Amino acid sequence: MKQASLFVDEALLEVRSGSGGNGKVSFRREKFIAKGGPNGGDGGRGGDVILVADNNVATLLDFKSARRIRAESGEHGGVSDRKGASGSDVEIRVPVGTLVFDETPRDPGEETQEADPARLLADLTRPGQRLVVARGGRGGLGNARFKTATRQAPDFATPGRPGETRQIRLSLKLMADVGLVGFPNAGKSTLLRRISAARPRVANYPFTTLVPSLGVVERDDRRCVVADIPGLIEGASEGAGLGHQFLRHVERTRVLVHLLDLEAMLVEGRDLMKDYEAIRRELGRYRPELLERQEILVLNKSDLVHDEALVAPLLERLTERGLRPLQVSSAASQGLDLLLRSMFEAVEDARREAAVDETGREQD
């Protein structure tokens, strides 16, 4: 199976809640009374379709192809005032970080539209968060409900309400503290393997990582989630190289670890300053606020540098820009302790800032 098929971050579903059961028309049968009082029961309520954010679900793979999901309808009312059983709800487990869009055509015959922010139903960012995307129909009323002083034997009941049918699009944005960004083959996947238990695919050619990978990094009593974002290229902000699909997963990260490939500079003569500026440019074009995120700059594959004079011009240019890069070798496990300390400090700072912002919003 190809790796690309293991991660699915978009899905289109048709969901339908259950219809309510019909109310019952019936009368008591008593000796010597041809038609006793009404005793028709109400219909049961239709089941809901509910999305539930679940930390144990990583992708939208279960919904890779268009899916139709149906909840049970309520049962009809019975005699002797028996209410019909309600239809069972259907709970759909989705990853934390799933955005839910309503793509139900507004008018009959209208084509399904692309995801429209104005039709965003919810952003499921908390484990256990629930969203009813299709509400079950109300059960009909049995004829016992319609008995009055002047109408002793009503011979009618009401039907149950139909369920809702909606088209929804699920769009996953990874929930990670740290996003690893850089050009293809900069060593992001190898770094993730070294610092976490994640096992992304690794090889020495561009675009090895075709899908995002998540890893949990733990040191002492500290923990954070790191996302290996597939290699970005120039034009990513305009969709080049699946750019939008990849950049979407950077949006929720608190800290960016930006990797520059020293091997590309030493072997291919690449200008890493231009690489750095190109990635920053794509991030800014996609979402200007990404440029405000805390950034840790990493010169990766430092074990290949046998003469510091080869790196000195680059370091000087970076220093002039106010940048203080860390020199790291994921393959040789060099410089990882300092990188992890810097990463945890940046994440904790970002978490504190987020907590202060949240407190301020609550007070407002």
pLDDT in tens, 280-310: 998 898 889 999 999 999 999 999 999 999 9
The one-letter amino acid at 289? E
What pLDDT does residue 266 have? 94
What pLDDT does residue 34 have? 59
In the structure, how many helices (H) and strands (E) does the chain have? Answer: 6, 14
What pLDDT does residue 240 have? 45
> How many CA atoms lie less than 13 Å away from 274 in the CB half-sphere?
6
Alpha carbon separation from 330 to 103, 192, 291 (Å, rounded) = 44, 9, 25
Q: Give the 3-state secondary structure of 54-80.
A: ECCCCCCHHHCCCEEEECCCCCCCCCC
- Residues found in the chain: 364
Using an 8 Å Cβ cutoff, are 157 and 23 in contact? yes
Smallest CA-to-CA distance from 89 within 43, 22, 141, 44 is with: 44
What pLDDT does residue 277 have? 94
* CATH classification for the domain delimited by 178-363, as one of 3.30.70.890, 3.50.50.60, 3.40.50.300, 3.30.420.40: 3.40.50.300
What pLDDT does residue 228 have? 85
Low-confidence ranges of the chain (pLDDT < 70): 1-8, 32-35, 65-66, 107-118, 197-212, 231-246, 357-364
| Cα–Cα distance, 124 to 139 (Å, whole number) | 30
What pLDDT does residue 7 have? 53
CATH architecture designation of domain 3-172: Distorted Sandwich (2.70)
Indicate the domain borders of the chain. 3-172, 178-363
Alpha carbon separation from 275 to 184, 186, 319 (Å, rounded) = 11, 11, 16
What pLDDT does residue 355 have? 77
| Cα–Cα distance, 162 to 305 (Å, whole number) | 70
The one-letter amino acid at 354? A
Using an 8 Å Cβ cutoff, are 34 and 89 in contact? no
Exposed (0-12), middle (13-18) or buried (19+): which is 312, by Cβ within 10 Å? Answer: exposed
Task: State the residue for tokens 């990874």.
Answer: 174
What pLDDT does residue 305 have? 92
Using an 8 Å Cβ cutoff, are 179 and 227 in contact? yes
Segments of the chain assigned E as strands:
10-16, 49-54, 67-70, 90-95, 98-102, 120-124, 130-134, 165-172, 178-181, 213-219, 222-228, 255-261, 294-300, 326-328
Q: Sign of torsion, CA 150 153 155 158?
A: positive
